[in-house]
Amino acid sequence: MTKFIKNVWQKVPGTTFIHAQISKHTDNPEGLNFDRIRFLKAGSFRPKPDMGNIISMLRGKARLYFANGDYPPLRLDKGVHLYLPPGVMTVVESEPETELIHVSPPSAAQAGGHKIIIRNEKYLAACASGKQLLRWILTPQYLSRRIFLHHDQILLSKSGNPVSWFHTTMFDVSGLPENDEGVAVFKMSYNSRTEINICYEVKGTARVRMAQHPYQEKSQLWDPWLTLDKDSTYHLNETTVGTQFVSENSPSPITLRNRHEVQIVDGHVSLFCMFDPAPTGIENHQPGEYSDYEPLIQVQQTSRHTTFTNELAKFDKMVDSLSWAEATDKLEKVYKTPAWELYLQGRSAQADIETTLVKSLIEQGNKREQIINKWRCPSN
């Protein structure tokens, strides 16, 4: 399958929306269908109820109605995300100019969860405990809103792995370390998972390039740079093919895969990405290094992972309850509840973490603090 995909928008007969099929389940290692839907006029969309579905709102407004009135209607705004398990029959009634991303499996066998999950990503910004980052991750290079992680019961890949669903914004590369060619870039290399990156907002100029095998520490050969725009998807789909490599920090050979670089000038790139298998949430992304997530089986055996999951549980409950309350127009009823108090505490902790990050960037003198300031946790 190609590593670079351009949207082809088509009118769907009998509907008021246009549709771009980004990737079919038969074409990708995740074994899932990825689509974008854009409403030209007010209208409806009916997810297939026998499969399981992920819906993420990119822009606009909609209402989701449940058949037989099993649940109250849900208000869907930008930044709201849903997992609908098999057997849940719904219809999405959208206003004009609404756009969403839809992810679905070919059968219910790849639906790992049987519970409806709604998450408003504004509440992810309050998922911090002490110095520990949980779902809203601001770094010198990007902001990651981790909507569904490894332990969330949602879709499975065709390999049976839990997948994750992230909303990520990558920043301008000014002040980042340079590559071997003297160009500041964001370096990534996901050695134990695949990732599909669906770009929907590009400000300034942006491009991506993929490393050619064999991967090398010096004199790496690269495919040509490819320009990113709001209709681009780049797919890191290497699963078994790679380069065996032994480093001082790895006593056993590891296989390097999916090495790539991104350059963004005078702007940013926002996208949605799916990992297979899902990261647990613990990251290793350092400027100037080819970032990766550690192999899942290794992370799960560590005490830091146990601490992470224990802390995350109460924040997940908070995010889910507040997201449901807001979607059903009952948010005022949760004010002063334990969930709301945890939200305020978590948001304050996140703001403190980000203040510390900004101070460290100022000390480094590369002016990265100017890049990330606009992406900091909302103050109110």
pLDDT-derived band at 232, boundaries 50, 70, 90: very high
pLDDT at 148 over 60: yes
User: Higher model confidence: residue 241 or residue 272?
Assistant: 272
pLDDT at 288 over 70: yes
Judge whether 217 lies within some domain: yes
Beta-carbon contacts of residue 87 (< 8 Å; ≥ 6 apart): 49, 50
Span 27-41, average pLDDT: 97
Read off the amino acid at residue 83. Y
Number of domains in the chain: 1
Closest to 267 in 3D by CA, of 200, 197, 142, 171: 171
How much is the pLDDT for 379? 64
How much is the pLDDT for 187? 95
CB atoms inside a 10 Å sphere around CB 212:
13
- CA distances (Å), 206 to each of 158, 161, 261, 368, in order? 32, 31, 11, 18
How much is the pLDDT for 247? 63
Span 328-357, average pLDDT: 95
How much is the pLDDT for 316? 97
Judge whether 363 lies within some domain: no
The per-residue pLDDT of the chain, averaged, comes to 94
Q: 11: domain CATH number?
A: 2.60.120.10
Q: Per-residue b/e over 341-355, b at no fewer than 16 CB within 10 Å? A: ebbeebbebbbebbe
pLDDT-derived band at 110, boundaries 50, 70, 90: very high
pLDDT-derived band at 291, boundaries 50, 70, 90: confident
pLDDT at 371 over 70: yes
Q: Do the bridges between strand 142-148 and strand 136-138 make them parallel or antiparallel, or are there none, so unpaired?
A: antiparallel
Judge whether 243 lies within some domain: yes
DSSP symbol at 73: -
- Per-position DSSP letters for 274-335, written without gaps between them: EEESPP-S--B--TTS-BB---HHHHTTSHHHHHHHHHHHHHHHHHHHHHHHHHTT-GGGGT
How much is the pLDDT for 162? 95
Q: Which two tokens stand for residue 102?
A: 């839809």
Domain range for 149 is: 4-303
Per-residue pLDDT of 117-131, as tens digits, reads 999 999 999 999 888
How much is the pLDDT for 252? 72
Per-residue pLDDT of 192-213, as tens digits, reads 999 999 999 999 999 999 999 9
pLDDT-derived band at 132, boundaries 50, 70, 90: confident
How much is the pLDDT for 41? 97
Task: Work out the percent of the chain whose per-residue pLDDT is above 70.
Answer: 98
How much is the pLDDT for 248? 62
Span 64-76, average pLDDT: 93
Judge whether 368 lies within some domain: no
Per-residue pLDDT of 176-196, as tens digits, reads 999 999 999 999 999 999 999
- State how far the Cα of 288 lies from the Cα of 114, in Å rounded to an integer: 41
pLDDT at 254 over 90: no
Span 236-242, average pLDDT: 88
CB atoms inside a 10 Å sphere around CB 283:
16
Per-residue pLDDT of 313-335, as tens digits, reads 999 999 999 999 999 999 999 99
- CA distances (Å), 171 to each of 41, 108, 187, 289, 373, in order? 33, 37, 12, 16, 11
How much is the pLDDT for 173? 97
pLDDT-derived band at 249, boundaries 50, 70, 90: low
Q: Do the bridges between strand 132-133 and strand 128-129 make them parallel or antiparallel, or are there none, so unpaired?
A: antiparallel
- State how far the Cα of 90 lies from the Cα of 165, in Å rounded to an integer: 21
pTM of the model: 0.95
- State how far the Cα of 74 lies from the Cα of 93, in Å rounded to an integer: 10
Task: Work out the percent of the chain whose per-residue pLDDT is above 90.
Answer: 83
How much is the pLDDT for 68? 81
How much is the pLDDT for 250? 62
